Amino acid sequence: MRVVSLVPSLTEAVAVSAPGVLVGATDWCSRPAGLDVVRVGGTKNPDVRRIAALAPDLVIANEEENREPDLAALRAAGTEVLVTEVRDLPGALRELARVLGACGVRGRPRWLAEAEAVWRDPPRLSLPPRLSVPSRPSVPFRAAVPVWRRPWMVLGRDTFAGDLLARMGVDNAYAAHAERYPRVSAGELRAARLDLVVLPDEPYRFTREDGPEEFPGVPCALVSGRHLTWYGPSLAQAPRVLARALRAAVR
């Protein structure tokens, strides 16, 4: 089996579950560390000729991360392409099983079983006493989750990361927005009466010096983008890692 992955999280999932199967991956595929495969460009601009030259049995892609014209070009070159679609945690678990099965993995890898187990009852956040009010005794944190800056973009409706946070007691203020990744101004975010701003380190790398200064008086949680947005082996540690970062911000 020869597989090329155009999705960083799927690259990690396949590499640790079926060693030796991957022959190509994108420049952004950083896990597992030391992965020794041919690099085929970015997720948005893969080198179709280089991929075809690898003669893969399968290319794995994602409908959000990869562009349809590139996938169509691969199909036209005679390459089989498996495209995942992920909107929530159950969908991610199903798609992971489908991808691994297509790559020849028999049974469920240990990390996938562990991920399913820890997400059955993830740690949930509750409003600290200083923020609690009688009319909101058990309402989750109202939060915004920027994923880009210049321009500002946030998680909107039907996103995998938004679903993970909701399972942990974080209510996305833009979950009902018409767009999945709406553009909003920093002023609009500041006026949204948020309990929390969640700032991942990818796709935009928010840091203590780049991001929190826009939201004076609002707790900002700097979180691991890999544990918030990747669906793969990191899912097994994601509840613990995310809970630690979120709790630290509102302590």
Cα-based torsion angle of the residue sequence 23, 28, 30, 35 in order, rounded to the nearest 10 degrees: 20
pLDDT band at 138 (very low <50, low <70, confident <90, very high): low
CB atoms within 10 A of CB 63: 12
* pLDDT at position 217: 93
% pLDDT > 90, the chain:
92
In this chain, the answer to whether the domains covering 3-107 and 138-250 adopt an identical fold is yes
Closest CA to 144 of 189, 188, 102: 189
pLDDT band at 132 (very low <50, low <70, confident <90, very high): very low
Amino acid at 40: V
Structure pTM?
0.91
Give the model confidence (pLDDT) of 206-226 as tens digits: 999 999 999 999 999 999 999
Question: Strand, helix or coil at 225?
Answer: helix
CATH domain 138-250 topology: Rossmann fold (3.40.50)
CB atoms within 10 A of CB 124: 14
Q: How many angstroms separate the Cα of 87 from the Cα of each of 70, 92, 155, 162?
A: 22, 7, 12, 9
CATH domain 3-107 topology: Rossmann fold (3.40.50)
CB atoms within 10 A of CB 224: 18
Amino acid at 239: P
Task: Give the H/E segment covering residue 197.
Answer: strand 196-200
Q: Angle at Cα 178 formed by Cα 175 and Cα 183, nearest 5°?
A: 85
Do 65 and 21 touch, CB atoms closer than 8 A?
no
Q: Which residues contact 243 (CB under 8 A, 6 or more apart)?
A: 122, 123, 125, 168
Q: Where are the domains of the chain?
A: 3-107, 138-250
Q: How many angstroms separate the Cα of 185 from the Cα of each of 35, 148, 222?
A: 39, 11, 20
Question: Strand, helix or coil at 152?
Answer: coil
* pLDDT at position 141: 85
Give alpha helix (H) positions in 77-176. Answer: 89-102, 110-118, 160-167
